[in-house]
A and B are shown apart, each in its own frame.
Chain A
Amino acid sequence: MRGGRSLRLRDRSPVHGLARRRLGPLEVVAQSVSGAAPSAAMAATPAIVAASAGGGTVWSFAIATVLALLIAGCISRFTRRMAAPGGLYSLTAKGLAPGAAFACGIALLVGYGLLAAAALAGVGAYLDALLARSGLPGGRVVVTVAVVVVGLLVGALALRGVRLSARVVLLVESVSITVMVVVFALLLLSGPAPGAVAPVPAAGIGGVAAGVLPALAAFIGFEVATALGAEARRPFRSVPRAVGLTAAVSGVLYLFAAQTQVVGFATTPGGLAGQAEPVLTLATARGWSWIPALLDAGLIMSFFACALATATALVRVLFSLSRDGVAPQALGRTHPRFHTPHVALAVALPVVVAMLAVPVVSGVPIGVTLVALLTLATCGFLVAYLLVCLAAPVFLHRIGELTWPAVAATAVIVPILLIVLVVFVAGSRPAVVVLAAVVAVGGVWFGWLRLWRPDRIAAIGVYDETVAEDVLGQAAA
């Protein structure tokens, strides 16, 4: 041993209690893919992007994919070196000041919480559509009951253990993506509706740039695997791969979906823009009456997997905040048999269900609720991505491993994310109100912590440290 350096290793990880080193690489990838839920975005996002980008829709998706890959690159600078159940929050803490890490934690809670609620809303909305299509009684009460039941199922699976829920997610998401790919491939092969090609007005660079906004929003949740750092078998290999692969696979799926829909509406005046349900319109025009029901089923499955994956990540962020001494201590407890943060789950899940059930019961259509929840969740994710990308080169500098590509990636992505965030928030009045409220609550919470627990707040960023038994020769010493 070198002079002056002593090995001070803990006997157990500060995040003990979770099922350490259990998940295989495929299960980790499945979590991330489900978090991004590409099936749902494949059906809905191209039309939204086309509203701004027109003929440049595919380009908007291509740019968004590059941005997502850059964000994945920044995240991987951390995940190749450390494994943390707190996801981006714990990673940010290793680069930036505690205040910024705390802000990232709040942003992640908002992002995962609202995305989980939005996913449950998605299950409800498409269940409603499926019931209406098959002539069964639907309506607000049935949908609300169904959503609460699905919420309970998500809770039960998330509690029962990370391996079971990862496997359920893997199965459900693979089926859902397969359904979507088959439907889109059929549509692409059958070409546009007969008739002369209607010219789509060129959108120009401004339109393509505006289209990047909704296209990037289609990727949110792709970093969910970071929250499984402590539970993955080879985390330094499988987590960065899962996040990068999800960005790439989702990007390819979106490009494919966008191209299919652009081609499909090539003969329709106005093109893809302005289509409320483009995939259904395309299928109906071809007389494929079986497609709508299949699509609804695929989307219900995808939203279900998304709810489970994001709930899993949400409770791990809460768990980490608690182990950091920032949130109440009880939230950091884990179930003795299932090794999951059961108290955090019991607290978070009712809030998630309520965020969706309250507006629906009080008369807001479920589709509107879904869009509002997604918009707000996106704001949370954008803040978290911005902070983690900013933290990456600072972290590398701190540990003495800074390289120029890391600086370059941050220099490119941070200004873009900042612009996207500002435009995104400015574009939605409710988002401004809700975000202001979140900032106020977060500020008071942080002020209280600074006043009463300055030592805890200075040391936040708990992660799955190397413990004595991981180091050769230390365990036997």
Chain B
Amino acid sequence: MTAPVPLSGRQPRAVRSALAVLEEVVATGPGVTAKEISAALKLPQATTYRLLNLLVGEEYLVRLPDLKGFALGRRAARLAVPVVTTPPTAARAVVDHLRGLVRWGVHLASFGSGQVVLVDPDPDHPPSDAALLARYPQVSALGRLLLAEQADWRALVRELRVFTEHTVSGTTELAIALDAVAREGIARQCGELRADRGCLAVPVRAPDGRLVAGLALSGPAHRVAEPNPELVELLREHAERLSPLLG
């Protein structure tokens, strides 16, 4: 086995060609074949096949079921900064309604891009830094909803950074926590990001069952740790009402 060669950045042509291949797939649309890409970019065929196999291996591209055509893979979403789109007025009204009923922070996050994107944060109880939530999904209740939905969550958790003494720092512990989220349909985190704060989140699913967003309550860590059955019921009820609006 050879040790990985440190990246020298001395293969500018290979990098440029790989990016050109990605662009060509986006420009031509799903179903473009290796031969077509090679012809369009005037790249040698063997080089094109090698780059395509590399990009498929890394899952930026996927092969379509005929094994000839290519399309952008889900991982390619991570190349773009997620756009924060304002949710429909009707959905914001549902979130505002919940804010009127509880004394906690109420946040709505979209998962459409494969990341946690706060689309309606509570103006009176500002949530943690959006970049932090997107980068360390495992420490927030919203992020755990997203991870619990994906079999390959290990690929999305880049660093198990420890923020407080309560932060989950082991993969096994995290796997157990995510299993519980998948089973119970509710995610919870008490003082793992900031020692005095915690949050609860429930999934918002499209009518076909797809996870599209998460609705979260944030408050003092010790209050989050309590069972709060009425609060959870209220949260679930509002998530249900959001389903047809966001799905």
Chain A residues within 8 Å of B, Cβ to Cβ: 1-2, 5, 7-10, 19-22, 24, 80-82, 94, 233-234, 236-237, 245, 249, 399-401, 403, 465-466, 469-476
30 contacts between A and B (CB under 8 A): A1-B30, A1-B31, A2-B32, A5-B69, A7-B31, A8-B65, A10-B65, A20-B151, A80-B53, A80-B56, A233-B155, A234-B57, A400-B33, A400-B35, A400-B68, A401-B34, A401-B45, A401-B49, A403-B45, A465-B65, A466-B62, A470-B62, A470-B74, A471-B74, A472-B72, A473-B72, A474-B71, A475-B74, A475-B210, A476-B112
Name the A residues within 8 Å of B45 (CB-CB): 401, 403
Contact A5 B56 (CB under 8 A): no
B154 at the interface (CB under 8 A from A): yes
Q: Contact check: which of A399, A403, A466 meets B68 at CB < 8 Å? A: A399
Tell whether B67 is near chain A: CB-to-CB under 8 Å.
yes
Residues of B within 8 A of A465 (CB): 65
Number of chain B residues whose Cβ lies closer than 8 Å to a Cβ of chain A:
38
Decide if B65 touches A403 in the complex (CB within 8 Å): no
- What's the minimum C-beta distance from A370 to chain B, rounded to whole angstroms? 31
**Bound: A466/B75 CA distance, A:** 13
B1, CB-defined interface residue at 8 Å: yes
Chain B residues, CB < 8 A from A1: 29-31
The residues of B that contact A245 with a CB separation of less than 8 Å are 1
Closest to A7 in B: B30
User: Which of A94, A399, A469 has the most C-beta atoms of chain B within 10 angstroms of its own C-beta?
Assistant: A399
Q: Interface of B with A (CB < 8 Å)? A: 1, 28-35, 45-46, 49, 53, 56-59, 62-69, 71-74, 76-77, 112, 151-152, 154-155, 210, 212
Q: Are A469 and B29 in contact (CB under 8 A)?
A: no
Are B57 and A466 in contact, CB atoms less than 8 angstroms apart?
no
A471 to B77: give the CA distance in the assembly, Å: 10
Interchain nearest-CB distance for A84 vs B (Å): 11
A9 interface neighbour in B59, B65, B154, Cβ under 8 Å: B65
Further 6 A-B residue pairs, CB within 8 A, beyond A233-B152, A249-B1: A9-B64, A21-B151, A80-B53, A82-B67, A234-B155, A470-B73
State the Cβ distance, B190 to closest chain A Cβ, in Å.
28
From the candidates B56, B151, B212, name the one contacting A81 in the complex (CB within 8 A).
B56
Q: Is the interface of B mostly helix, strand, loop or mixed?
A: mixed
- Bound-state Cα–Cα, A237 to B76, Å: 17
How far is it, in angstroms, between the C-alpha of A5 and the C-alpha of B68 when the chains are bound? 12
Which B residues are CB-close (under 8 A) to A470? 62, 73-74
Min CB–CB distance B127 → chain A (angstroms): 24
Residue of B nearest to A9 (CB): B65
List chain B residues, Cβ under 8 A from A19.
151
* With contact pairs A19-B151, A400-B35 given, residues A466 and B63 touching in the complex (Cβ less than 8 Å): yes
Q: Within 8 Å CB of A94, what residues of B?
A: 67
List the B side residues contacting A24 at CB < 8 Å: 154
Complex contact A236–B57 (CB within 8 A): yes
Which 7 A-B pairs have CB atoms at the shortest separation, nearest pair first? A237-B57, A472-B72, A236-B57, A21-B152, A5-B31, A466-B62, A465-B65
Chain A residues contacting B67 (CB-CB under 8 Å) are 81-82, 94, 399
Check A234 against B151 for contact (C-beta < 8 Å): no
Contacts of B68 in A (CB 8 A): 399-400
Assembly CA distance A95 to B26 (angstroms):
29
Residues from chain A with Cβ under 8 Å of B212 in the complex: 476
Question: B154–A233 contact, CB under 8 A?
Answer: yes
Residue on A nearest B55 in the bound complex, by CB: A236
Residues of A within 8 A of B35 (CB): 400-401
- Kindly list chain A residues whose C-beta atoms are within 8 Å of the C-beta of B73: 470-472
Contact A80 B72 (CB under 8 A): no
Q: Taking A469-B74, A471-B62 as contacts, is the C-beta distance between A403 and B69 under 8 angstroms?
A: no
Please indicate the chain A residues that have their CB under 8 angstroms from the CB of B31 in the complex: 1-2, 5, 7
A7-B71, A245-B1, A399-B68 as given contacts; A234 in contact with B34, CB under 8 Å: no
Q: How far, in Å, is B146 (CB) from chain A's closest CB? A: 13
The complex places the Cα of A324 from the Cα of B166 at a distance, in Å, of: 49
From residue B160, how far is it (CB to closest CB) to chain A in Å? 15
- Shortest C-beta distance, A19 to chain B (Å), equals 7
**Alpha-carbon distance A206/B164, docked complex (angstroms):** 70
Counting chain A CB atoms within 10 Å of each CB, the highest count among B30, B34, B35, B69 belongs to B30
Which B residues lie within 8 Å of A399 (CB)? 33-34, 66-68
